[in-house]
Amino acid sequence: MLTDSHCHLDFPDFDGELDEIVARAADAGVARMVTICTRREGLPRVTEIAERYPNVWFAYGIHPMRVAEEPMIEVAELVEAARHPKMVAIGETGLDYHYTAESADAQQESLRRHIAACRETRLPLIIHARDADEDMARILREEHGKGAYDCVMHCFSSGRALAEAALELGFYLSMSGIATFKKSQELRDIFAAAPLDRVLVETDSPYLAPVPHRGKRNEPAFTAHTARVGAEVFGVSEAEFAAATEANFERLFPKAARTEAAA
């Protein structure tokens, strides 16, 4: 069994196909999915999807590239949303200086508010980081010093220094289809140096389809291809890698495990 810890089932790429998408995931051994809401207007749709499918949970936050387009998120807003039994994480939030460096200050404030909501709800944080490694490491450390929280570096593709900073804080690194690309040996080496008990797998679908589907629409079923590469990176069997990442998911997202057991 595998869990796609980060996908976007509400995106128009999947309109009219969700039953088939979820069924193909199950056929591929992907038994659970966390679909991510990245904007206020998307919350009703993401909630409805999670309520419709027993094996789908959701997270809510404001994506850093959208921070300048919306009113600044309030901690209370995130805390209230987290009352839903199938909301299992805060985010994705973070810093993206590749496309939206002009809103860096607002992104940093938004990130800190999301972290405050994590402390209050005891839900984990989902981080997006692009071309902002230094500021990201600094803020994560500063905020952790104010009070502990759990976190996953989603779709990790940053440098070794940020990986080490995250791992030092007890955080997790999530492996996406990027790790399967031929040019990604440096990234695979970063994962290989991480403890296996700090690794998750994801698709970030509909983006970043792994080999052999690179360039096509990604979907949760393709988590299996990334997991196969993950097993090679860590020098373990596919079954061992799957078991490890499942244990990691349940440790980081205990609310998902609790609601699944109660269903």
Q: Binding-site residues for a divalent metal cation, please?
A: 6, 8, 92, 128, 154, 204
Distances (CA, A) of 110 to 73, 163, 216: 7, 22, 32
Residues belonging to the binding site are: 6, 8, 92, 128, 154, 204
Query: What is the rounded distance in angstroms from the CA atom of residue 101 to the CA atom of residue 93?
Result: 15
Residue pair 95/65 in contact (Cβ under 8 Å)? The answer is: no
Alpha-carbon separation of residue 62 from 74, 200, 250, 261 (angstroms): 11, 22, 24, 29
Whether a cis peptide bond, with omega within 30° of 0, leads into 206 is: yes
**Token reading at 224:** 């299996």
Q: Residue 231 is encoded by which pair of tokens?
A: 């097993």
Identify residue 101 by its one-letter amino acid code.
A
Q: In the structure encoding, which two tokens stand for residue 7, read together?
A: 């996908």
Helices (runs of H) and strands (runs of E) counted in the chain: 10, 8
Beta bridge partners of 81: none
Using CA atoms, how far apart are residues 203 and 167, in angstroms rounded to an integer? 21
Structure tokens at 63: 């994506």
